[in-house]
Amino acid sequence: MLKIDHFTKSYGDKKAVDDLSLHILPGEIYGFIGHNGAGKTTTLKSVAGIMQFDQGEILVDGVSMKKEPMACKKKIAYIPDNPDLYDFMTGMQYLNFVGNVFGVDAQQRRERVKELADAFELTADLNQSIGSYSHGMKQKLAIIAAWLHQPKLILMDEPFVGLDPKASHTLKGMMRQVCDRGGAIFFSTHVLEVAEKLCDKVAIIKGGRLIRSGTMEEVKGDTSLESVFLELEG
Amino acid sequence: MLKTLIKKQYMECFRSYFINPKTGKRRTKWGIFGMFVFFTVIMLFLAAMFFGMSFLAGDTLLSLGMDWLYFVLMGVAAIFMGAFGSVFNTYATLYLSKDNEMLLAMPIAPAKILVTRMSLVYGMSLMYSGIVWIPAVCYAWIFGTVSTQAVVFDIALIFLIALFVTVITCALGWVVALVVSRMKNKSFFVVLISLVFFCGYYYVCMNMMSILQKLLLNAAALGEGIRVWANVLYQLGMAAAGDGKAMAIFTGITLALFAASFFLLSKSFLRIATRTQGERKKVGKLTVKSTGVSAALLGRELKRFTSSPIYMLNCGLGIFLLPVLAVFALVKREVLEAVVGGLGEMLPWIGDVLPMAVVVIVCLCAGLNAVSTPSVSLEGKYLWILRSLPVSGRMVLSAKLRLHVLLNLPSGVFAAVVLGICLKLGAVSILLCSLWTVAFIWLTGAFGLLLGVLRPNFQWTSEAMPIKQSMNMMLSILLGFALPILAAVGCGLSRNLFSTDWYLGLTGALLALLGLSVTLWLDTRGAARFDSL
């Protein structure tokens, strides 16, 4: 579903991510962990097509992000760590905008919005201006918008920050459903307990370089993910 | 701490003078020097204009020995210029700054934040009122008889008038904030109120000569009226003329008003500045509106435009003015005909260039509408949304240009047709005027967008920065003014070579060609550049 091959991204002389290679298969929830500034967001943004990169290749479902960014973006959805959504729209207007861009037909859109907004208890607020939303509400709206066109690959940067426990639980269930129908999830998190319970595979990045990746069992062995992470980071 | 905050506020305002918004890097010394030279040239141009206005009032009043009345009139003009142009800028600076919450979270007293914001309002007031007042006092020093004391007072009044203007703009900004916080369709309300202000402003500006003449004819009665009914202004005039007692009174009144306004603002600042944006609506029915990508992007641009009073007022004023102008011309058709007839007796060729006059009038108004210019910078923190969606830079830029054209075209063509009919132009001339207007709107829209792509600024903390305080806007409006004026000059010079219709056809085609070239650049290199921002 996602193949990152020798991906390198620099800011001036500094390499933010250096020669990163990852392969995410359909049906996998892939966790991406590392300390602040390790290169997680840079990687996610490049995979989402937000950021251009220097070297390497990113293939989404076999399509090159470099050569065919539009075709790639149709297959993915991205949720940033701090969802700055259009304050000048209402929640429903924003969902309509995203739905129109992805060509989600009216009937499907109505059904999905109802199902997702009910799941996140946001239905009553969808006609309100996004400017009046709290961080958590914006996060929920960003998640609904991401799920609206049923993408094959969902990229999320710290998706659980700002969500209440019930919404976090709902999101975890939704992530598993995406994978069950053949999609994949690639997300970054600092909450190692969540990663340990939720992810099929995990990658640890340090100073822009991949230092460990594989199935959860391969990475953590008999210890906890936290112990491995602290040992590797130390 | 206050010094640091004020420094930060002014650095933000003049950021583009020191930092290149394109690269985010500090400009070279020569670059900074060039920016300030450009700013100085514009200020000198405005100062020269107001020096000319000082002549209108000063020529009579100074020779009559009514210096104080001259200073009152110019003082009112300075206050008018400073206050009415900055109400919404003040509102945005005081209450809508993006870093309000960040600063409030720090151990900084809200009063200090307010002082910081007001210092910028004062700086702006000083600039706007000074551009009228300084040429006015210079004129009086050169052509009048003034004492040393009067010169000292005149200089001190530069700063006092700016303080007086600050009080007025802060009070009006507070009223706007209060009303807006209680409104549902706040953007349109703000625009409506602003238009009332602007209509008053333009009425005064358009009738300045006749108002001034009437005032001068009744100078004695006017002087007495001001002394009795507007004593503050009387004290201002007397102070500028060198009266020590009047200077003390005006200073006292201004300082007292400033203290009172600061006290009142500080009472409500925290509440208004931390008010959550957006109104709470009832749940209502969730409406699904299905459209294509192109329409979705256009709709998004339209929502952005209509959600911001600052955007609508600064970049869309001509859209509202042009139909008003057309209807006004229709109503005053006979007067217009008489004026043209009168001009025709003095200048027999005037009838031949009337189509050009129509184009100049319409395009000078349409040139105010730089809708497309700040639209790239306004993406700001939202840019990630477009970049993550399957929409190309070309589609986004096309939507921005389409909005510019769609908003401007109806009012521009309507005004051109109505003015053409009022001036009894032939069908071909009216058609050519309309087509010229279309080409002009297209070119200015594309050029504004080109500037936006070449020199974006995503690091703003108040949307007033890309809309009001950017070099892009200045250049865009300059082009909007320069094009019709240059075309008119060219028309006059080539009068013996081409008929006006031919001239309009040729120059209109040239504009369309330029518009096409810039659009092609936007579609290719511009789009690629946007994608890499």
Q: What is the CATH number of the domain that holds A32?
A: 3.40.50.300
Q: How does DSSP classify residue B27?
A: P
What confidence tens digit (pLDDT) does each residue in B259-297 have? Answer: 998 888 888 777 766 665 444 555 567 788 888 999 999
- Contacts with A, B 125-154, CB within 8 Å: none
pLDDT of residue A157: 92
Pairs across A and B, CB distance < 8 A: 111
- Count Cα neighbours of A188 within 13 Å in the Cβ-side half-sphere: 23
pLDDT of residue B163: 93
pLDDT of residue B505: 92
- Measured in angstroms, the CA of B13 and the nearest CA of chain A are apart by 23
Distance CA A189, CA A172 (A): 13
- Contacts with A, B 386-415, CB within 8 Å: 387-392
pLDDT of residue B278: 47
Structure token pair of residue B229: 């009914």
3-state secondary structure of A227: helix
Q: How does DSSP classify residue B367?
A: T
Chain A contact set for B281 (CB, 8 A): 90, 127-129
Distance CA A39, CA A53 (A): 13
Instruction: Tell me if B354 sits within 8 A of B229, measured CB to CB.
Output: no
Q: Do the chains contact at A113 and B281, CB–CB below 8 Å?
A: no
pTM, to two decimals: 0.70
pLDDT of residue A232: 74
Average pLDDT, stretch A118-136? 89
What confidence tens digit (pLDDT) does each residue in B56-72 have? Answer: 778 878 887 888 888 99
| Total Cβ atoms within 10 A of residue A229 | 24
Q: How confident is the model at residue B457 (pLDDT cuts 50, 70, 90)?
A: confident
Structure token pair of residue B497: 């070579």
Query: Residue A27 domain-assigned?
Result: yes
Chain A contact set for B279 (CB, 8 A): 128-129, 132
* DSSP code string of B70-86: HHHHHHHHHHHHHHHTT
Q: How confident is the model at residue A77 (pLDDT cuts 50, 70, 90)?
A: very high
Q: What percent of chain B stands above pLDDT 70?
A: 90
Q: How confident is the model at residue B25 (pLDDT cuts 50, 70, 90)?
A: confident
Structure token pair of residue A182: 């053949």
Q: Do the chains contact at A127 and B390, CB–CB below 8 Å?
A: no
What confidence tens digit (pLDDT) does each residue in B75-112 have? Answer: 988 888 777 666 667 777 777 666 777 777 777 777 88
Domain that holds residue A41: 1-75+153-159+184-234
Q: Do the chains contact at B382 and A105, CB–CB below 8 Å?
A: no
Q: How confident is the model at residue B23 (pLDDT cuts 50, 70, 90)?
A: low
| B300 interface with A at CB cutoff 8 Å | yes
Q: Do the chains contact at A113 and B288, CB–CB below 8 Å?
A: yes
Query: Residue A107 domain-assigned?
Result: no
Chain A contact set for B304 (CB, 8 A): 86, 88
Residues across chain A:
234
Query: Residue A41 domain-assigned?
Result: yes
Instruction: Tell me if B501 sits within 8 A of B458, measured CB to CB.
Output: no
What confidence tens digit (pLDDT) does each residue in B503-532 have? Answer: 999 999 999 999 999 999 999 999 999 988
Q: Do the chains contact at B295 and A114, CB–CB below 8 Å?
A: no
| B382 interface with A at CB cutoff 8 Å | yes
Chain A contact set for B190 (CB, 8 A): none
Query: Residue A120 domain-assigned?
Result: no
From the list A101, A126, A128, the residue facing B391 with the nearest CB is: A101
Residue of A nearest to B304 (CA): A88
| B381 interface with A at CB cutoff 8 Å | yes
pLDDT of residue B409: 93
- Measured in angstroms, the CA of A233 and the nearest CA of chain B are apart by 30
What confidence tens digit (pLDDT) does each residue in B214-264 have? Answer: 777 777 777 778 877 888 889 999 999 889 999 999 999 999 999 998 888
Checking if the pLDDT of B455 tops 70, the result is yes
Query: Residue A170 domain-assigned?
Result: no
Distance CA B187, CA B227 (A): 40
Q: Do the chains contact at B307 and A88, CB–CB below 8 Å?
A: yes
Query: Residue A39 domain-assigned?
Result: yes
3-state secondary structure of B22: coil
From the list B286, B293, B303, the residue facing A89 with the nearest CB is: B303
CA distances from B490 to A60, A104, B346, B495, B513 (A): 57, 53, 21, 8, 18
Per the structure, how many domains does chain A have? Answer: 1
What sign does the CA torsion over B326, B328, B332, B336 have? Answer: negative
Residue of A nearest to B384 (CA): A50
pLDDT of residue A229: 81
Q: Do the chains contact at A124 and B283, CB–CB below 8 Å?
A: yes
Q: Do the chains contact at A90 and B281, CB–CB below 8 Å?
A: yes
Checking if the pLDDT of B209 tops 70, the result is no
Q: How confident is the model at residue B21 (pLDDT cuts 50, 70, 90)?
A: low
Q: Do the chains contact at B384 and A50, CB–CB below 8 Å?
A: yes
pLDDT of residue B112: 82
Q: Do the chains contact at B290 and A127, CB–CB below 8 Å?
A: no
Q: Do the chains contact at B382 and A49, CB–CB below 8 Å?
A: no
Distance CA A67, CA A139 (A): 31
Query: Residue A117 domain-assigned?
Result: no
- Measured in angstroms, the CA of A46 and the nearest CA of chain B are apart by 10
Place of tokens 């060039």: B34
What confidence tens digit (pLDDT) does each residue in B253-268 have? Answer: 999 999 998 888 888 7
**CA geometry: angle B141, B143, B147, nearest 5 deg:** 40
Q: Do the chains contact at B384 and A102, CB–CB below 8 Å?
A: no
**B19 beta partners:** B26
Task: Choose from B312, B385, B529, B533 for mutation: most chain A CBs within 10 A.
Answer: B385
Checking if the pLDDT of A25 tops 80, the result is yes
From the list A84, A106, A114, the residue facing B382 with the nearest CB is: A84
Does B347 or A145 have the greater pLDDT score? A145
**A182 beta partners:** none
- Measured in angstroms, the CA of A87 and the nearest CA of chain B are apart by 8
| B292 interface with A at CB cutoff 8 Å | yes
pLDDT of residue B125: 87
What confidence tens digit (pLDDT) does each residue in B129-151 have? Answer: 898 899 999 999 998 888 899 99
Does B320 or A153 have the greater pLDDT score? A153
From the list B279, B384, B389, the residue facing A80 with the nearest CB is: B384
- Contacts with A, B 258-287, CB within 8 Å: 276-284, 286-287
Q: What percent of chain B stands above pLDDT 90?
A: 32
Checking if the pLDDT of A220 tops 60, the result is yes
Average pLDDT, stretch A193-208? 88
What confidence tens digit (pLDDT) does each residue in B359-406 have? Answer: 999 998 898 888 999 999 999 889 999 999 999 999 999 999 999 999
pLDDT of residue B138: 93
Mean pLDDT of chain B: 84
Q: Which residues contact B188 (CB under 8 A, 6 or more apart)?
A: B306
From the list B283, B287, B300, the residue facing A97 with the nearest CB is: B300
Query: Residue A147 domain-assigned?
Result: no
From the list B276, B304, B531, the residue facing A88 with the nearest CB is: B304
